[in-house]
Amino acid sequence: MSDLFMKIAMITDVYYPYVKGGVEKRISEIATRLSKSNNVHIYCMKFWKGETDLKINENLILHGVCKPHKLYSSNGKRKISQAIDFSLSLIKPLFKEDYDIVDVSEFPFFPIYVAKAYCILKKKPLIATWHEVWGLKYWCKYFGFLKGTAGFVNEKICSVLPNEFIVNSGHTRKKLRKGVIIYNGVDIDKIKNIEKAPKKYDVLYAGRLSEHKNIDVLINAIALAKNKFPKIKLGLIGDGSEKIKLEQLASELKITDNIDFLGFVDDVHSYMKSSKLFVLPSSREGFGMVAVEALCCGTPVITVKHKDNATVEFVSDGIDGYVTKLSKEKIAEKIVYLLENEEVLKKMKKEAKKDAKEFCWGKIAERTEAFYNKIMID
């Protein structure tokens, strides 16, 4: 880490472990490491009881700017009211302080306006960490034409406000058309010491049970693979708006006994280690950190080729997993092939661990700090 001691503000409405996801994990891991040689302040919703400010260590403080709101409505869509309330609540506590660097998480966009106003007033650089770009088509699919168009316009405006950008993948950089790439990471040392879960699965999935994750396609693929492996077992880690539909689908396909809906678990890496394969059939991933975590655990990954799936950057087709078409037939074909060919599976497991080394959180934090330092010097 650098000798240049900075006072850093990181703005995100959600924070790990109060909300569990790839973005939340990234911010927590980087902030913790940066706090070893910098003063780091996180502005988020107040998930904890007691005082507004929560001291994690000597140099890392969480500021709860408003009470925690549900992120998603009953239909599984992100709530705009939550994002607006967080942004308005951010104004007073943020403007009271003086920071060298402000880094705001791109989603849910509205906090960028507050952060920009702060940086103009204080004459400080604003960085946005951009995780994915939706574009007009997806915005309209997600919210409908009117709200979707408004969301797209908001995304475009926010994409020109920051002074600098960090993007989490080449995929995101290509769509945003700017930014320095600093990947998401994994805690390799911690994962090495984790024991395998006693429960073993042939196939594992971890993430939100949302429509774009295409878990229905995976369940249909398991139904096909069952013809070859009657006792095949799929573990689904996570929760979400599609859970009831997915449970009904498993029942209709008569494969309820072949699937365990595990909900959110604290020891996801132990399940990855005890599973033969990890499948991420998502058609939209800004990064796909769970896939990198699976590789780090020595578990080959099957993902799908799609223009909005950045996971394809990290899975070497035929080396540490497969990138295949989004169809139940193709996914089932790859699952069956690897379960039938133990030597191929064993070789892929070795390659998976090798490929994950570049994503050590320590390296990611160093790259982030070096980028901050460069901006400070320039």
Query: Which residue ranges make up each domain of the chain?
Result: 7-185+360-377, 188-358
- Residue of 286 and 362 predicted with greater confidence: 362
**Distance between start and end Cα atoms, the chain:** 19
Concatenate the DSSP letters of all residues of 83-121 into one string.
Answer: HHHHHHHHHHHHHTS--SEEEEESTTSHHHHHHHHHHHH
For residue 3, name the pLDDT band (cuts at 50, 70, 90).
Answer: low
- Residue of 238 and 353 predicted with greater confidence: 238
User: In this predicted model, what pLDDT tens digit does every residue of 83-106 receive, in sequence order?
Assistant: 999 999 999 999 999 999 999 999
Confidence check: pLDDT of 4 > 70: no
Q: What value does the mean pLDDT take over residues 345-356?
A: 86
Cβ neighbours of 79 (radius 10 Å) = 14
Confidence check: pLDDT of 109 > 60: yes
Question: Does residue 146 sit in helix, strand or coil?
Answer: helix
**What are residue 275's DSSP bridge partners?**
201
Question: Does residue 263 sit in helix, strand or coil?
Answer: strand
Per-residue 3-state assignment (H helix, E strand, C coil) for 264-304: CCCCHHHHHHHEEEEEECCCEECCCHHHHHHHHCCCCEEEE
Q: Report the sign of the C-alpha dihedral through residues 318, 345, 350, 170, in that order.
A: positive
Token duo for residue 333: 């074909």
Q: What value does the mean pLDDT take over residues 167-192?
A: 92
Residues 14 and 248: their CA atoms lie apart, in Å, by 31
What's residue 189's pLDDT?
85
What's residue 289's pLDDT?
86
What's residue 222's pLDDT?
98
Contact 22, 107 (CB under 8 A): no
Residues 6+ apart with CB under 8 A from 266: none
Residues 139 and 169: their CA atoms lie apart, in Å, by 21
Contact 185, 299 (CB under 8 A): no
Confidence check: pLDDT of 61 > 80: yes
Confidence check: pLDDT of 217 > 90: yes
What's residue 203's pLDDT?
98
CA-based angle 233:238:243, to the nearest 5? 85
Residue pointed to by tokens 């769970």: 290
Sheet with 53-57, side-by-side order of all strands:
53-57, 60-64, 39-44, 7-11, 101-105, 126-130, 164-167, 180-181
What's residue 355's pLDDT?
64
Residues 6+ apart with CB under 8 A from 295: 301, 314, 315, 320, 321, 352, 353, 355, 356
Q: 7-185+360-377 sits in which CATH class?
A: alpha beta
pTM of the model: 0.80
Looking at every residue in the chain, the average pLDDT score rounds to: 94
Burial class (CB in 10 A: 0-12, 13-18, 19+), 98: exposed
Q: Looking at 127-141, 172-186, 227-241, 354-368, which range is the least confident one?
A: 354-368
Please tell me the CATH superfamily of domain 188-358, with its number: Glycogen Phosphorylase B; (3.40.50.2000)
Percentage of residues of the chain with pLDDT beyond 90:
86
Whether the domain at 7-185+360-377 and the domain at 188-358 fall into the same CATH topology: yes
Label the pairing between strands 53-57 and 39-44.
unpaired
Confidence check: pLDDT of 213 > 80: yes
Token duo for residue 256: 């309820």
Helix (H) / strand (E) element for 309: namely strand 308-309
